[in-house]
Structure 1
């Protein structure tokens, strides 16, 4: 029997419908949520992501603005652009598309974004608040994974979740969000010896290691939930995840496909965070 597919496209559309209602409510009170995206250079993947973000904003009635800068832009020029956006009342979320050219310090850039407009959830302030379980903008991909589990009716409390990967963007925050929902969390990564001995214990596997078809049936116990965060190209240049889908299908109880699993959720939660920022502005104005 095949594994149940967790359809990120469908769940993402459902959540976007809810976000669109929130946008409409804000507009009736004279406030249109605005997202500014800064794109430095001509990275083809980044350009595609940015175009998708803009299109998604327009579809639910949000304002979006793209600021394109050449690859040779100085770090100071980029920081000035961010400081200007920090001050603008019509912009509620600021996103700098990563990766940035080598001569620009990503940490410095992220730290310059006002925490109140950090809808990516990457700033030290946002990360600190997330660790403490305080209200903040959650990183979009891990937040999206939590929504996938919630909308699929998958209970997290008391389950053993194994994270494969330790990036600041996915792996580390993913574990924290699962921990806050009472999962027992194990972090693993590329240097973990005998990885299957850890992943075979998992009720929930989050694969975020960035290696095509890395997770196979030897890593997965019968009935585990497998969430594939990876976006890679295989030897035939075909889009694939970190999980060998064909190999794991039928062993996992639930699995996310690539594409159409976690990917659509990342942009969905970015929209939700930006609308939340606009709602916070309105709340401050009315108190």
Structure 2
């Protein structure tokens, strides 16, 4: 049995209060005649993606948000994907939408992403919104990085001036998170190092880190011997073995870490909550100045 000395960074209580905040504002928007709407576009029939999309629509129902969906088969075309994006861009009842990623081979996700109206970019991944992030201007923040910020704030983990190592440089997590954590702002202002596949000795960097965030989708990549005692360790990347969710951080890291995300219920719930916060904020902006949210 493991000697679990670390405290768990559960994301569920954070997701609960964020979604309750969203639910309240959805009702306020309805009083102004605005029925918030989220759209999803799914290409193919990947089982994990189907499950994620289904969960999003179930959450829409629980929050009182309209939900819209367009499915494109594996043998569909890139033009069908672009047409789906255009349809949601033009639908006034859809205030935010996303393309479930990854898409099958033969589809160009980035070209479809570029076609999304930035004012309806629920994932915060459109180049325009990523540019606003670089400039520290208001806009939708990519959901998983936003969720990690919420976790650090909720548990009062001050990382100012601390050394943070992010493993992975992807556009959905590693890259935007490195920008957010290095900014001169609350719950940030850290020294950030981004590791990637070109780094041969990952442990050289992680062993000196106060905070480790893994975002590569390799099961149990971060092991106890890579972590200094008392470090904060979050798994942003996941993979699947059948129906079993496998985080990047091995559960045995709890023997040495001070804080750690659990295998289930860590960053995942906060990622979903941030999607709905983004959608609600986009709806607010699109209905101004007629909205009354006081």
TM range (shorter): over 0.9
After TM superposition, give the deviation of residue 284 of structure 1 in Å: 4.5
Matched residue, 2:113: 110
Paired residues of 1:178 and 1:185 also in contact (CA < 8 A): yes
The alignment's C-alpha RMSD in Å is 1.6
1:266 to 2:271 alignment? yes
1:155 to 2:161 alignment? no
Paired residues of 1:190 and 1:209 also in contact (CA < 8 A): no
After TM superposition, give the deviation of residue 89 of structure 1 in Å: 1.1
Q: Among 241, 248, 252, which residue is 2:247 paired with? A: 241
Q: Among 224, 232, 251, which residue is 1:225 paired with? A: 232
After TM superposition, give the deviation of residue 96 of structure 1 in Å: 0.9
Counterpart Cα distance in 2 of 1:106 and 1:80: 13
Q: Among 217, 239, 243, which residue is 1:210 paired with? A: 217
Counterpart Cα distance in 2 of 1:109 and 1:162: 31
Deviation digits for residues 74-99 of structure 1 (CA, Å, limit 9, x no counterpart): 11122122112111111101111111
After TM superposition, give the deviation of residue 183 of structure 1 in Å: 0.9
1:138 to 2:141 alignment? yes
Matched residue, 2:32: 29
Paired residues of 1:231 and 1:258 also in contact (CA < 8 A): no
Paired residues of 2:224 and 2:255 also in contact (CA < 8 A): no
Paired residues of 2:72 and 2:80 also in contact (CA < 8 A): no
Larger CA deviation: 237-246 vs 73-82: 237-246
Q: Counterpart of 1:161 in 2: which secondary structure?
A: strand
Which aligned segments of 4 or more residues in structure 1 are displaced greater than 3 angstroms? Answer: none
Counterpart Cα distance in 1 of 2:262 and 2:59: 21
After TM superposition, give the deviation of residue 101 of structure 1 in Å: 2.1
Larger CA deviation: 186-195 vs 273-282: 186-195
> What's the TM-score once normalised by structure 2's chain length?
0.93
Q: Counterpart of 2:140 in 1: which secondary structure?
A: coil
1:14 to 2:20 alignment? no
Paired residues of 1:36 and 1:66 also in contact (CA < 8 A): yes
Matched residue, 2:255: 250
The equivalences for 1:64-79 within 5 A come to: 64-79=67-82
Matched residue, 1:3: 6
**Which ranges in structure 2 are unaligned for 5 or more consecutive residues?**
none
After TM superposition, give the deviation of residue 133 of structure 1 in Å: 0.7
Paired residues of 2:86 and 2:116 also in contact (CA < 8 A): yes
Matched residue, 2:41: 38
Matched residue, 2:200: 193
Counterpart Cα distance in 2 of 1:239 and 1:81: 30
Deviation digits for residues 237-261 of structure 1 (CA, Å, limit 9, x no counterpart): 7422111112x11311111012210
